[in-house]
Amino acid sequence: MPMHTDQHAEYLAFAGRLADAASAVTLAYFRAALEVVDKGATRFDPVTIADREAERAMRDLIRRTYPTHGILGEEEQRVTGTEPFSWVLDPIDGTRAFITGLPLWGTLIALNDGQHPVLGVMDQPFTRERFSGDGNQAWMNGKPLQVQPCKSLSEAKLLCTTPDMFEAGGQWDAFQRVARAARLQRYGGDCYGYCMVAAGQVDAVVEAGLQPYDVQALIPIIEGAGGIMTSWTGGDPQQGGAVVACGDARVHAEILRLLNGQG
């Protein structure tokens, strides 16, 4: 569903209000003593009261402002709207970073028009950085973002949050083919790493095991800054799973070849 200019500005401003509502919660709990609950079945998957209260604050604001819109979030059940629009929320992407005091977590907010995410916000309230994008442009605190050119993977800086995410058969070996070919590879970053691609500081992020709410806000930011984000097979990444985000299409093509055993 294409948006007209006034509607675009309205929804982008509202996404900012959602980020403000979440940050009022998350900053009160960050680097404070709080209970951590493990919701993982096989490995540690932490959630805190900050995650739950921040998502609830955003959901309440959406219900009051756009009651016909759907909501997909990490901590509560999906709400199906009567319009195609859905808000996709991750109140704290990077809860492990959050509970260890590292400012690499962020609040992810996307608006999906029923076909793909058309607006995205990644808010890091502790560092006072708000990244946003609409697939055509991207900004950090209102200043335009632009990816950096990189002609080959051998010159690229590569990020991945954790090796633990490569659980499906062959994923670890595939990632290692990419990592060995890169100039620099570092772990950590969560959503912040993707925004560093958009900001021209990092050349690629390669990850797996992701959910829709982990990626949908980041797609319009990466693409708006001139980058590319796909699945490992080059398809639509909006449902999560195994994804690749790159600033330069040449590096993206090289990574896909290696991931798929063609390099």
Which phi and psi (to 5°) does residue 207 adopt? -145, 170
Helix (H/G/I), strand (E/B), else coil: 36: strand
At CA 22, angle to CA 20 and CA 23, rounded to 5? 65
Architecture of domain 153-259: 3-Layer(aba) Sandwich (3.40)
Express each pLDDT in 184-243 by its tens digit.
Answer: 999 999 999 999 999 999 999 999 999 999 999 999 999 999 999 999 999 999 999 999
Spell out where 170-252 has E strands: 184-187, 204-210, 228-231, 241-246
CATH number of 5-144: 3.30.540.10
Q: Where are the domains of the chain?
A: 5-144, 153-259
- Residue carrying the six token digits 């620099």: 184
For residue 1, the model assigns a pLDDT of: 47
Pairing, β 129-133 against β 36-38: unpaired
Q: Which residues pair with 72 in a beta bridge?
A: 88
Q: Which residues pair with 138 in a beta bridge?
A: 133
What's the whole-model pTM score?
A: 0.93
Express each pLDDT in 23-55 by its tens digit.
Answer: 999 999 999 877 777 665 555 556 788 999 999
Q: What are the binding residues?
A: 74, 90, 92-93, 214
Q: What are the binding residues for Mg(2+)?
A: 74, 90, 92-93, 214
